[in-house]
Amino acid sequence: MKKTALRKRDLYLKRLIAFQDTEMIKVVTGIRRCGKSSLMKLMAEHLRDTGVTEEQIIEINFESMTIPDMDARGFYEYIKARVCPKKRTYLFFDEVQQVSGWEKAVNAFRVDFDCDIYITGSNAYLLSSELSTYLSGRYVEIKMLPLSFKEFLEFHGYILTERRSPAGGVKKRITDMNGETYEVKELFDAYVKFGGMPMLADVGLEIDKVAAALDGVYSAAVVNDILEREKRKGQRNITNPVLLRKIILFLAYNIGNNTSATSIGNTLVNEGLLANGARKTKPAVQTIQAYIEALTEAYIFYEIKRFDIKGKEYLRTLGKYYIVDIGLRNYLLGYRDGDSGHILENIIYFELLRRGYDVAIGKIDNQEVDFIATKADEKKYIQVTESMNAPETRERELSPLRKIRDSYEKIVIALDCEFIQTQDGIKIIRALDFCLD
C-alpha cells in the first residue's frame, strides 16, 4: 500500500522542536483526528533528518491492535526492554490514556532512562490532577486545533501568492496545481462549509464524503472520549446518550450566544426536547454542567469567560461556547445558510488561539467587546462583524471600543468591508486578510 506523504503542520512542529531534549514531557492535546498522530510522525521524521538513529526512536499507537494490552508495570517492562542503552531514546506514545496507570510508567521513564518523551491524548482528562501529581509541572501542553484557513488552502493543494498593487496595498491570488485561479472568498466559503479537519484533504470536498468523515470524528469523540472516559474514571455522570446529543446540538446551534446550564435545561424543556410521553423532565443543573464539562474535556467545545474591563476581574455570569470545527457544526445541524456572524466569530476565536493568545469576552458598562486577546505584555481588543459598510453597524461595533481608555490595540475584523481604515485609533481590517496573515 502506498504510504501517504505527511503534510506539514509547522506551527505545532516548531513548538515541539523548541522543547526537544528538555526534561519537559511534551503533551499534545486536541479533538480526535485533528492531526496529533501526524504531528508525532513529523517530529520523529525531524529527528531522523537531524541524525537520530532508528534504534533511538520508539513509536507506539495504543489504539493499534498490534500493541498488546498492558497495565503500568507491563508498559514499563515493554519500554525497558527496548530503550537504547548508550544513547538518548525518543519515546512517542499516541493515545497513551488507553493504558491504565500510564502516568506512573511515564514518570518512571523520565526518572530511570535517558529519554525524551512525547505523548498525545484526545481528552483533557489526560491532564488531570493525577498527571500533575506524578509529573509535578514537568510537562508542557501543545494544544492542537484543526486547520486554519491558510492551512486549509495548503492541505487542499491551493497556492497563495501576493503582489503589490500599483494603487497601493497587497493583492492576494490563489491558484490550484493546474494554474486555475480562484477568488479568496469562494475558498473561504468552502472552509466555512466543510471546516478544517485534516483528513478532508484525502477524502475530497464532496458533501457525502465530508459528512461520512465528520461522522467518524463525532462518533469517536463522543464514544471514546466521553462515554469511555467515564468508565475509565469509574464514574457514571454521563449516562444518557440522548441528553448528551441534545446538549451537543444546543451548543452547536448557539455558538457565540450567552449560555448557561440553567438556560440549556429551560430551553430543552420549553421546546419539548426532553419530553418523555406526556411528562417533561428537566435535568438538574449539575447534570447538564457535567455533560458540558465532558464536551469541553473532549475538545469538542471551548468555553470563553467574560471579563469586566473596568473592574479588571473575570465574571461568573454567562459565558459563551464555540465549536472546535465549523464543518463539524454543519454536519450536526445540516448544511444551511444563516448565522454567519457567529460563524465568523467562531473562526476568529480559534485563529486567536492558534496564534497563542488567551481569549476572553470583554464587558464595559452595558456593552460587550467580542474578544480580549492577551499574551505576555501584548493585548488586543477585537470586534468581529459581518459588515462595516452601514453607518449604524460601524457605530455599534466602534462604540464599546471607544470606551476603553488604555493604549492597547483596538481592532474591528469585518468580512465585508468596502474600505479599510483607522477610525478614532481603531483599525478596521478585512477578515480574509486577518486569516491569511
Could you read off the pLDDT of 45-70 as tens digits, one per residue? 999 999 999 999 999 999 888 888 89
Mean per-residue pLDDT over the chain, rounded: 89
- The pTM is what? 0.93
pLDDT in tens, 110-165: 999 999 999 998 887 777 656 667 777 789 999 999 999 999 999 999 999 888 87
Confidence class of residue 382 from pLDDT cuts 50, 70 and 90?
A: very high
Confidence class of residue 176 from pLDDT cuts 50, 70 and 90?
A: very high
pLDDT in tens, 95-114: 898 888 888 899 999 999 99
Q: Is a pLDDT exceeding 60 seen at residue 285?
A: yes
Report the C-alpha gap between 97 and 230 in whole angstroms: 13
Of the chain, the end-to-end C-alpha distance in Å amounts to 38
Q: Specify whether the CB–CB gap between 79 and 107 falls below 8 A.
A: no
Element (H, E) at 153: helix 149-155
pLDDT the model gives residue 145: 98
Q: Half-sphere exposure of 64 toward its Cβ, with a 13 Å CA cutoff? A: 8
**Across 324-331, average pLDDT:** 97
For residue 408, give the C-alpha cell: 492597547
**Across 282-305, average pLDDT:** 90
pLDDT the model gives residue 229: 66
The lowest-confidence range among 100-109, 119-128, 254-263, 300-309 is 119-128
Q: Is a pLDDT exceeding 80 seen at residue 232?
A: no
A 10 A CB-CB count for 332 gives 18
Type of residue at 427: K
Q: Specify whether the CB–CB gap between 163 and 173 falls below 8 A.
A: yes
- 127 vs 431, more confident: 431
Closest CA to 192 of 435, 421, 373: 435
Q: Is a pLDDT exceeding 90 seen at residue 16?
A: yes
A 10 A CB-CB count for 75 gives 25
Confidence class of residue 233 from pLDDT cuts 50, 70 and 90?
A: low
Confidence class of residue 277 from pLDDT cuts 50, 70 and 90?
A: very low
Q: Is a pLDDT exceeding 70 seen at residue 3?
A: no
Q: DSSP letter for 131, please.
A: H
Closest CA to 305 of 314, 313, 296: 314
pLDDT the model gives residue 269: 83
